[in-house]
């Protein structure tokens, strides 16, 4: 079956990262087209396309752009290329295929919001991607797509590439801003929102790499063509990262609303070695786990997954086989969030530590079966209580696992305890 290719249209094209290749396939035509238009027209088009933020929250992109105050003199555009959500490897794939697609998207976005300075914030672990991105930026400057009087206009857009130190919290948009400002990567209190007061206190728009990379296609093909794909409320395509013991793990570009089971069992080839499906995490580590029964007819769009009690998130589909002990999964998850909590807000700082501490008790054979309910209660009261969503990100999967696999977890504790001998 053929699927629309927007973000992956450079798959299987030799030398796809080169500017020449990009130009040959219509590269920078969208930017050229847009720079003659008024920013409001560009925002209206993106709004009309229904494009939603691909970083996890799914906020309408055009609407976000329109929040920048008209009177602002200095506006910043930041590309969140920090991709830290466990299970997610889609943004780096875009950079692997075509970094120019991101640059072009950023030129368009910068023009739409009136930014003269844009930054890409990439985590330091992406060694190759950093290099490819830097090369592309250099090429774009040389070819006159960036800098003063770009593309023969009076516009001036500068693009810088900033390398973060790899903290998960710096992928949170205000944490990213703090980090870019040279401070400790800690999320900022909202309000004020970044669109009003962000980087260096100026209006700032932070967009995910995948979001920005989709923009040139939308400009070229129009809002209607984009809306023709996906569902009514979740239009367009999305990159899904399938990981776990499946035959063909990888990145798949599919229209939103695509059936999850089909993605796992047809596109990714199903389970390896006769393993059975035990559970699926549909949107990255912070998304609540779903049982096979819950995904029977589940489609991959923001609304359907939310209705099923989880979230589309970053589109990281993690497949969990029947032989995966859930205590092990829980331990990995809570340890991750404990390690990554910035420590600002008390419920998250103490809560993530407490969760990890209790799970540690299982290994030390001191845990009690009632600890499972305690984990659930702690997670319940960590949720919705903090500045950013990291606390929720730790709480949601903990709640789901301790609820859905309570019996198994208790058995693990019993078998592991001095009680069970």
Extract the tokens encoding 178.
Answer: 């703090």
Nearer to another protein (CB atom), residue 130 or residue 359? 359
Burial of 128 (0-12, 13-18, 19+ CB in 10 A): exposed
CB of 136: closest distance to another protein in angstroms?
Answer: 33
Nearer to another protein, 134 or 360 (CB): 360
Q: The sheet that has 204-208: what strands, in order across it? A: 158-164, 117-123, 76-81, 204-208
**What's the closest the beta carbon of residue 118 comes to another protein, in angstroms?**
28
H/E stretch holding 374 reads: helix 371-382
Which CB, 144 or 384, lies closer to another protein?
Answer: 384
The strand pairing partners of 299, in sequence order, are 259
Helices 99-113, 209-227: axis angle to 10 degrees equals 80
> Cβ of residue 129: shortest distance to another protein, in angstroms?
25
Which residue number, 148 or 189, has a Cβ lying nearer to another protein?
189
- In the bound state with another protein, the residue whose beta carbon lies nearer, of 150 and 170, is 170
Q: Which of 65, 64, 143 is nearest to 103 (CA)?
A: 143
Instruction: Give whichever of 75 and 348 is closer to another protein, judged by the CB atom.
Output: 348
Q: Cβ 202 to another protein, closest distance in Å? A: 19
Shortest distance (Å) from residue 310 CB to another protein: 18
The rounded distance, in Å, linking the Cα atoms of 288 and 259 is 18
150: left (phi over 0), alpha (psi -120 to 50) or beta: beta
Q: Which is nearer to another protein, 152 or 191 (CB)?
A: 191
Q: Tokens 């019996």 map to which residue?
A: 407
Minimum CB distance to another protein smaller for 232 or for 370: 370
User: Which DSSP string corresponds to 75-124?
Assistant: -EEEEEE---STT--SHHHHHHH-HHHHHHHHHHHHHHHT-SEEEEEEET
Buried b (16+ CB within 10 A) or exposed e, 237-254: bbbbbbbbbbeebebbbb
Residue 53 CA to chain centroid, in angstroms? 8
To the nearest 10°, the Cα dihedral for 38, 40, 45, 47? 160
Chain contacts with another protein (rule: CB under 8 A): 167, 169, 184, 189, 191, 338-347, 349-354, 357-358, 360-361, 366, 374, 381, 384-387
**Minimal distance in Å, beta carbon 373 to another protein?**
11
Which is closer to another protein, CB of 202 or CB of 385? 385
From the CB of 344, what's the least distance to another protein, in Å?
Answer: 5
Q: Enter the tokens of residue 81.
A: 């290329």
CB of 189 to another protein, least distance (A): 4
H/E stretch holding 208 reads: strand 204-208
Q: How far is the CB of 352 from another protein (least distance, A)?
A: 6
């Amino acid at each position: 079956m053929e699927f629309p290719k927007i973000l992956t249209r450079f798959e299987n094209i030799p030398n796809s990262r080169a500017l020449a290749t990009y130009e040959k396939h219509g590269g920078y035509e969208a930017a050229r087209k847009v720079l003659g238009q008024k920013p409001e027209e560009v925002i209206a088009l993106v709004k009309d396309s229904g494009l939603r933020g691909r970083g996890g929250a799914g906020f309408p992109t055009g609407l976000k752009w329109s929040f920048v105050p008209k009177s602002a003199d200095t506006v910043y555009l930041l590309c969140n290329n920090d991709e830290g959500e466990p299970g997610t490897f889609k943004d780096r794939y875009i950079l692997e295929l075509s970094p120019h697609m991101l640059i072009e998207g950023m030129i368009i976005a910068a023009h739409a919001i009136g930014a003269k300075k844009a930054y890409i914030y990439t985590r330091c672990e992406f060694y190759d991607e950093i290099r490819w991105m830097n090369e592309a930026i250099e090429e774009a400057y040389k070819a006159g797509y960036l800098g003063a009087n770009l593309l023969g206009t009076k516009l001036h857009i500068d693009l810088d590439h900033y390398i973060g130190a790899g903290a998960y919290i710096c992928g949170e948009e205000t944490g990213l801003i703090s980090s870019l400002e040279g401070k400790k990567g800690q999320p900022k209190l909202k309000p004020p929102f970044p669109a009003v007061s962000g980087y260096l206190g100026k209006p700032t728009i932070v967009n995910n790499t995948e979001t920005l990379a989709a923009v040139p296609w939308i400009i070229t093909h129009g809002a209607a063509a984009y809306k023709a794909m996906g569902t009514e409320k979740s239009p367009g395509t999305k990159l899904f990262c399938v990981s776990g013991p499946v035959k063909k793990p990888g990145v798949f570009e599919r229209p939103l609303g695509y059936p999850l089971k089909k993605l796992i069992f047809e596109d990714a080839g199903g389970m390896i070695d006769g393993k059975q499906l035990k559970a699926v995490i549909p949107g990255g580590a912070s998304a609540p786990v779903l049982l096979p029964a819950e995904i029977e007819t589940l489609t991959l769009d923001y609304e359907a997954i939310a209705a099923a009690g989880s979230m589309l998130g970053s589109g990281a589909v993690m497949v969990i086989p029947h032989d995966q002990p859930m205590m092990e999964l829980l331990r990995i998850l809570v340890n991750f969030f404990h390690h990554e909590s910035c420590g600002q807000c008390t419920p998250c700082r103490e809560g993530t530590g407490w969760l990890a501490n209790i799970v540690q008790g299982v290994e030390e054979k001191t845990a009690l079966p009632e600890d499972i309910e305690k984990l659930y209660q702690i997670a319940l009261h960590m949720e919705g209580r903090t500045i950013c969503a990291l606390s929720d990100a730790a709480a949601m999967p903990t709640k789901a696992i301790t609820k859905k696999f309570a019996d198994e977890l208790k058995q693990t504790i019993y078998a592991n305890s001095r009680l069970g001998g």
